[in-house]
Structure 1
Amino acid sequence: MKWDLTVFYEIPDIEKIKKDLEDIFKRATNFVEKYEKLINENISTEQVRNYFKEFEQLMEDGLKPIQYSSLLFSENTTDKIAQQLYGISEQYGSKISEILSPLQSAFAQLSEEKLDILSKEIPEYSYALEKIKLEKKHILSKDAERILAATSISRRDALSNLYEKLTSSYKFKIEIDGEEKELSGSQVRALRRSPDGNLRKKAMKLFFERYKADEITIGETYNIVVKDYDTEARLRNYPKPISMRNLENAVSDESVEKLIEITTENTKIVHKYYKWKAQEMNEELTLADIYAPFSSSEKKYTFDEAKEIVLDAYYSFDEKAGNIVESFFKENRIHSEIVPGKVGGAFCSYYTTQIKPFVLLNFNGNINDVMTLAHELGHGLHGTLSQKQSFINYHTPLTMAELASVFGEFLVFDKIKNELEGDEKKYFIASTLEDTFATMFRQNMFARFEIQAHELIEKNGMASFEELSKLYENELKIMFADSVKIPEEYTYEWSSIPHIFHTPFYVYAYNYANCLVIGLYQKYLEMGKKFVPKYIELLESGGKDSPERLLNKIGIDITKEEFWQSAFEFLNNMLNEII
């Protein structure tokens, strides 16, 4: 299935899109001229309310061409027009951020007392004003903010785009069933689920060694991304680099540290599982085998079959949720085909409250792809329901952004599991555990690696590809211990993790969200249909309040250590079902 982007523009008309972006830039300039001097202790409540409303409309209009360019580029990173549009939209995005940056500094100059008064008098934007209070000490002078905004296009964002272009261009020649084939990165990674153990190992060796071949480019790119991010965090007076992401995610440093600590303590679940899997398969496992199917004839799904499974699960949960998910298919807002130049992985894109979300995935037809479809459509459900909010309250922090997606996976998991029995059921639970390990323990491992990599680069001024690979090897040993063998090429795996390049410290959000979802899903299992309206209301809330307060409304207390531990007990119980 391919998506239809004509809701944005009929065709990728460079001149038309450039003109739209230029108009937005002019509107942004006028907006700043209107409000910059007004933002002081004497500004009225009505003026602040009007400021927010005008800002929201400016963003709604301005993000339309930027989102379109991003989707077009994701569809084919080698297309010249897509590349040009992406470059133009990035350039204007940076210019618009630069011109708007003085307003952030102006709000940061308001006293806490003034912000408290405004928050009470403008309840629809109270959380936005609360966040300004929290960010005050991290917002720089007008000139400094302007410089950071102006240079964003040529700093870590530009380097992460270079990394994306480089790695998306990789082609892999590999012999399968006596025939040499040329595969994309996504197709090679899919071979981890091949029933042929030799093919799995050969494919992953080929995959990671391709990244190692570009070690100078990738290693230097990562070093510069880290230095750029850490320099900004230091300039903004954050105690440590990850603190900048934590504040953006509306979580404390302490809670993230506790989550990482608790997850690491529970890696014994992973060790226990893979020792069982090795016995079940009667072979010594390597990291190339952690997703190996238990049966030599792994079931394949057509896209239409995957669609029906996912729709049935969402409709069984709630008719409104089912209707929203089905609209993605009816309105051609999914790109699932594997084509040359397309970015790897999967995502759901939603920028504004006025254009419905779009989903990209690379569908190979295995059960993991069915779950990925459920995952991304969960994002789509969240992005659609939260359009009830105005733009400022629309987007959630990363820690809540994965909530609906993982919940959607659990819905599909239960639907499929209840239709199976015997070994088929056992191995499906096992496969789901593997995917959950990937989004909890592996993401935790990535987070631990990132923290140490940033510390090493700060301490020594740089870290070589080999040094970073050694750090990563140590983390692999902590996660897997002696349950699987670690091939040398897997120590290069860090270089293939796009998140650490384009959004430093993103990865722990997956683990955070998974723990949250397990808590939510247990509530659903306890309450049944009575839970559904509460869940829908949570998704409709978008980012209008802090995660802690939004979750408290449905009986989740994220300040308690036992809440996080309960997620791992849930996983251990799943494991005990099959062992």
Structure 2
Amino acid sequence: MTLPLPRRTFGASAFAKGDEFGRLPEWDLTDLYASPDAPEFARDMDWLDQACADFSASYEGKLAGLDAVGLLAAVQAYEQIDITAGRLMSYAGLRYYQNTMDSERAKFMADAEGRVTDATTPLVFWSLEFNRLEDAHLDRLLAENADLARYKPVFERLRAMRPHQLSDELERFLHDESVVGASAWNKLFDETLAGMMFAVAGEDESLNLEATLNLLTDTARPRREAAARALAEGFGKQIKLFSRVHNTLAKEKEIHDRWRKMPSPQHGRHLSNHVEPEVVEALRNAVVAAYPKLSHRYYRLKAKWLGLETLQVWDRNAPLPIEQPKTVDWATAEKTVMEAYGAFSPEMAALAKPFFDKGWIDAGVKAGKAPGAFAHPTVTTVHPYVMLNYLGKPRDVMTLAHELGHGVHQVLAAGQGELLSATPLTLAETASVFGEMLTFRQLLSQVKTPAERKTLLAGKVEDMINTVVRQIAFYDFECKLHAARAEGELTPDDINALWMSVQAQSLGDAFDFMDGYETFWAYIPHFVHSPFYVYAYAFGDGLVNALYAAYEGGLPDFEAKYFDLLKAGGSKHHKELLAPFGLDLSDPAFWDKGLNMISGFIDELEAMED
């Protein structure tokens, strides 16, 4: 384990200048390491080398002969290695994402990744040998030792891969090769996107991706159109590179899946999520069946509000004509989210407060910074970090509420320890989407006019459509992409056609699609970094809608049950965790409950037209 590092005094210098947004916070990464050349970083790298070598010498070829106490000691030693490796890579990775165009940071992360990969190669035997233990033998050890039995969920997820693991030699090869495989293509993708600048007609200077995407929500339609056309032009210029990235990663995955005898490209994701394929299929089918009553109906309504026969892609997230242009400064965003969290539970607000006070959020849009937003759990002995690209839009407040929910979830789950804290995607979006819902309900309770209510409801419906309909369309696109790639190399036109097929189906007849929109798959990072991750957003929205209905319905001890769910991390299966709420994700009718909430909001918006 590493020694605790002193916490830096958090002062004004830790904030990026945010102009009209106020002071925007930047990460204080000293809780991980004081600097790239800190002696603690070098010490931990050296420790990792030795610890992995010692672990291999102590346990390789010997797992079957360990008693319960011996196996527990091995698991705990492995956990400490996991913490140190995670701490090292969290620091290197977070520094890199602050500026992916900085060659020093890129080199530092690549060197760290290579060193950690080399150090941990001797550990490859662990999962392979563990999975060769007889079931009866492992069951007996678990029955003998309660501390060992705590790790049963970890063992179950590990042993779910038994039918798909390769020979020890091949697994070692894949481990070593990973740094020049998917990881290298991910870096190429990230650095390409971060370096792209878009010449938007009418703007004084070229804009990066985040700033250009932000213009798609501008009040002025010509400005939105100019941004959309600039994006299409930029993606078009790089489309061969993006196609190469997707072709290569999809083919690599197909090779790995074929050797591992995975029944489908999605199966590995389902295994890691500890979710049954039929549950995901039920979610997907329910959402696709609901397209007409959700996105198709809403966008026809929006076209009417905007006075248009058909919508263009740059109208999808346009503000309503009655909506007053609004910039939300950082202090207001913090106050809004903290009040919403506090109204639900003072404990939740207390857990969220350090993110704002101690440098756990990096909010500003900066040159070279990775696009989008995320919450990184780092390791259970430190704390999470949240990244935003804050531009003062009301939607950015919801993004803050979302990512802060992840952060609170990660803090609560850390009590499970490193191996049990990670939450499968079945529940990973619960706290984030619940945080958004709390913030939305708080704002809705404060509206003073019908126009304000309509604006807020419409914004929430659009967010939910983006979370549910759009993400399931993304999932279908990935399914089609991987299936088509299995038949051969895909041209950019091939990928474009797959993208448009799901866009037309999901968005409906209210839309006309400009030339160039067919390339907009190119910037979605989940397709590159985490294949088939996207269904987690729809999963989380449907689950939270059902949870919130239970909360509003006065389910006894809801707050305590909710905190128990978050604290469980990855220590329990979703069936066990949701039983106290009377929810069962395996029930095909379950997903209709969440979709009906969205439909109900659209009903209310339609009623306002009468």
Return the alpha-carbon distance in structure 2 between the equivalents of residues 208 and 529 of structure 1. 51
CA-CA distance at 1:16 after TM superposition: 5.8
With normalisation by structure 2, the TM-score equals: 0.92
Which residue of structure 2 aligns with residue 113 of structure 1? 136
Q: 1:411 to 1:327 in 2, by over 3 A?
A: same
CA-CA distance at 1:18 after TM superposition: 4.5
Moved more, 409-418 or 282-291: 282-291
Q: Where in structure 2 are the equivalents of 1:27-42 lying within 5 Å?
A: 27-40=51-64, 42=65
User: Could you report, residue by residue, the CA deviation over 1:459-490 in whole angstroms, capped at 9, with x for unpaired residues?
Assistant: 1x211111010011111110012111111222
1:452 to 476, 480, 503: 480
Return the alpha-carbon distance in structure 1 between the equivalents of residues 464 and 181 of structure 2. 34
CA-CA distance at 1:275 after TM superposition: 0.4
Which residue of structure 1 aligns with residue 184 of structure 2? 158
Which residue of structure 2 aligns with residue 531 of structure 1? 558
Which residue of structure 2 aligns with residue 275 of structure 1? 300
CA-CA distance at 1:117 after TM superposition: 2.4
CA-CA distance at 1:214 after TM superposition: 1.0
Which residue of structure 2 aligns with residue 201 of structure 1? 225
2:162 to 119, 136, 141: 136
Residue 399 (1) aligns with residue 426 (2):
yes
Moved more, 66-75 or 201-210: 201-210
Return the alpha-carbon distance in structure 2 between the equivalents of residues 406 and 190 of structure 1. 21
Listed as ranges, the gaps of 5+ residues in structure 2 are: 1-24
Residue 293 (1) aligns with residue 319 (2):
yes
1:244 to 268, 271, 296: 268
2:349 to 293, 305, 322: 322
Which residue of structure 1 aligns with residue 121 of structure 2? 98
Q: Where in structure 2 are the equivalents of 1:373-522 lying within 5 Å?
A: 373-420=400-447, 421-459=449-487, 461-522=488-549
Residue 147 (1) aligns with residue 173 (2):
yes
CA-CA distance at 1:120 after TM superposition: 3.2
Return the alpha-carbon distance in structure 2 between the equivalents of residues 216 and 275 of structure 1. 35
Moved more, 67-76 or 127-136: 127-136
Which residue of structure 1 aligns with residue 107 of structure 2? 84
Which residue of structure 1 aligns with residue 70 of structure 2? 47
Return the alpha-carbon distance in structure 2 between the equivalents of residues 262 and 362 of structure 1. 33
Which residue of structure 2 aligns with residue 9 of structure 1? 33
Paired residues of 2:131 and 2:159 also in contact (CA < 8 A) = yes
User: Could you report, residue by residue, the CA deviation over 1:153-199 in whole angstroms, capped at 9, with x for unpaired residues?
Assistant: 111121011100111111123244xx512211011101111011111
Paired residues of 1:119 and 1:130 also in contact (CA < 8 A) = no
Return the alpha-carbon distance in structure 1 between the equivalents of residues 92 and 329 of structure 2. 30
Return the alpha-carbon distance in structure 1 between the equivalents of residues 480 and 590 of structure 2. 27
Return the alpha-carbon distance in structure 2 between the equivalents of residues 517 and 371 of structure 1. 15
Paired residues of 1:105 and 1:139 also in contact (CA < 8 A) = yes
The CA RMSD over aligned residues, in Å, is: 1.5
With normalisation by structure 1, the TM-score equals: 0.97
Paired residues of 1:439 and 1:511 also in contact (CA < 8 A) = yes
2:242 to 210, 213, 218: 218
Paired residues of 1:230 and 1:241 also in contact (CA < 8 A) = yes
User: Could you report, residue by residue, the CA deviation over 1:106-151 in whole angstroms, capped at 9, with x for unpaired residues?
Assistant: 0111112223223333321111222233221122221111111111
Return the alpha-carbon distance in structure 1 between the equivalents of residues 188 and 40 of structure 2. 26
Return the alpha-carbon distance in structure 2 between the equivalents of residues 560 and 230 of structure 1. 31
Paired residues of 2:210 and 2:372 also in contact (CA < 8 A) = yes
Return the alpha-carbon distance in structure 2 between the equivalents of residues 513 and 97 of structure 1. 33
Return the alpha-carbon distance in structure 1 between the equivalents of residues 158 and 141 of structure 2. 11
Q: 1:225 to 1:97 in 2, by over 3 A?
A: farther
Return the alpha-carbon distance in structure 1 between the equivalents of residues 325 and 500 of structure 2. 30
Return the alpha-carbon distance in structure 2 between the equivalents of residues 526 and 490 of structure 1. 43
- 1:182 is paired with a residue whose SS is coil
2:596 to 569, 573, 577: 569
Return the alpha-carbon distance in structure 1 between the equivalents of residues 53 and 577 of structure 2. 36
CA-CA distance at 1:62 after TM superposition: 2.0
Return the alpha-carbon distance in structure 1 between the equivalents of residues 266 and 70 of structure 2. 35
Return the alpha-carbon distance in structure 2 between the equivalents of residues 378 and 350 of structure 1. 12
Moved more, 482-491 or 160-169: 482-491
CA-CA distance at 1:502 after TM superposition: 1.1
Paired residues of 2:33 and 2:40 also in contact (CA < 8 A) = no
Q: 1:541 to 1:475 in 2, by over 3 A?
A: same
Q: Which amino acid aligns with 2:311?
A: L
Which residue of structure 2 aligns with residue 365 of structure 1? 392
CA-CA distance at 1:553 after TM superposition: 3.2
Paired residues of 1:120 and 1:126 also in contact (CA < 8 A) = no
Q: Which amino acid aligns with 2:193?
A: T
- 2:30 is paired with a residue whose SS is coil
Q: Which amino acid aligns with 1:491?
A: E
2:280 to 256, 261, 285: 256
2:379 to 330, 335, 352: 352
Which residue of structure 1 aligns with residue 98 of structure 2? 75
CA-CA distance at 1:539 after TM superposition: 0.4
Paired residues of 1:227 and 1:458 also in contact (CA < 8 A) = yes
CA-CA distance at 1:433 after TM superposition: 0.8
User: Could you report, residue by residue, the CA deviation over 1:408-430 in whole angstroms, capped at 9, with x for unpaired residues?
Assistant: 00000000111113111111111
Q: 1:19 to 1:388 in 2, by over 3 A?
A: closer
Which residue of structure 1 aligns with residue 10 of structure 2? none
- 1:172 is paired with a residue whose SS is coil
Which residue of structure 2 aligns with residue 185 of structure 1? 209
CA-CA distance at 1:202 after TM superposition: 1.3
User: Could you report, residue by residue, the CA deviation over 1:37-60 in whole angstroms, capped at 9, with x for unpaired residues?
Assistant: 2211x3211111111111111111
Moved more, 127-136 or 68-77: 127-136
User: Could you report, residue by residue, the CA deviation over 1:426-477 in whole angstroms, capped at 9, with x for unpaired residues?
Assistant: 1111111111111111110011011111111101x21111101001111111
Count of paired positions:
575
Moved more, 279-288 or 422-431: 279-288
CA-CA distance at 1:396 after TM superposition: 0.8
CA-CA distance at 1:393 after TM superposition: 0.5
User: Could you report, residue by residue, the CA deviation over 1:9-51 in whole angstroms, capped at 9, with x for unpaired residues?
Assistant: 22221776345323212211111111112211x3211111111
2:583 to 553, 556, 569: 556
User: Could you report, residue by residue, the CA deviation over 1:51-75 in whole angstroms, capped at 9, with x for unpaired residues?
Assistant: 1111111111221121011110111
Q: Which amino acid aligns with 1:440?
A: V
- 1:359 is paired with a residue whose SS is strand
Residue 228 (1) aligns with residue 256 (2):
no
Return the alpha-carbon distance in structure 2 between the equivalents of residues 538 and 345 of structure 1. 27
Moved more, 516-525 or 122-131: 122-131
Return the alpha-carbon distance in structure 1 between the equivalents of residues 32 and 597 of structure 2. 43
Which residue of structure 1 aligns with residue 199 of structure 2? 173
Return the alpha-carbon distance in structure 1 between the equivalents of residues 179 and 108 of structure 2. 14
- 1:565 is paired with a residue whose SS is helix
Return the alpha-carbon distance in structure 2 between the equivalents of residues 397 and 551 of structure 1. 14
- 2:199 is paired with a residue whose SS is strand
Paired residues of 2:378 and 2:385 also in contact (CA < 8 A) = no
Paired residues of 1:119 and 1:129 also in contact (CA < 8 A) = no
CA-CA distance at 1:301 after TM superposition: 0.2
